Amino acid sequence: MDSAEHILIRTMKENDIEQVALVERLCFAEPWSKEDFVFSVSADYDTGLVAVDNNTVAGFCIMRRSFDSADIINVAVAPDYRKKGIGKKLINSLLEEGNNFQIKEYILEVRVSNKAAICLYENAGFGEIGVRKAYYTNPTEDALIMGRYL
């Protein structure tokens, strides 16, 4: 697969959770549990999207809404699917979903060492708004707080 052209972006469903949790474990040292994803899929204030290649979940993203604000709380693309535009497609689709809820402000945290993700977010219109010292563990690392305002 060379690009994200044939990747389908759709709403995350409960039957996606097994594959979503696998992508999560491949991407993060301290992954969410399956129960965390079940909660998120069932929560009225969360919007989850999956990127699907045939029947395989290649990536996902989740935002948690509160009035006209949203926190992007989880974004992951499986290692075999990186650098193909899937992250961009997921983030753009999530921002489009936010329009349906009149979201005016988006906030997220990202490891300061995750240059690829920072570049992705900057290209989507996010800017640095602060740093959370020693926010991440395993290894301990600061989080860059980024925001996008409409």
Q: What residues are annotated to the active site?
A: 109, 121
Q: 34-42: long-range contacts (C-beta < 8 A, 24 or more apart)? A: 37/12, 38/14, 40/12, 40/74, 41/12, 41/13, 41/14, 41/16, 41/17, 42/14
Whose CA is closest to 23, among 80, 107, 88?
80
The continuous run of DSSP H or E covering 74 comes out as strand 69-77
Strand-strand pairing, 141-149 and 127-136: antiparallel
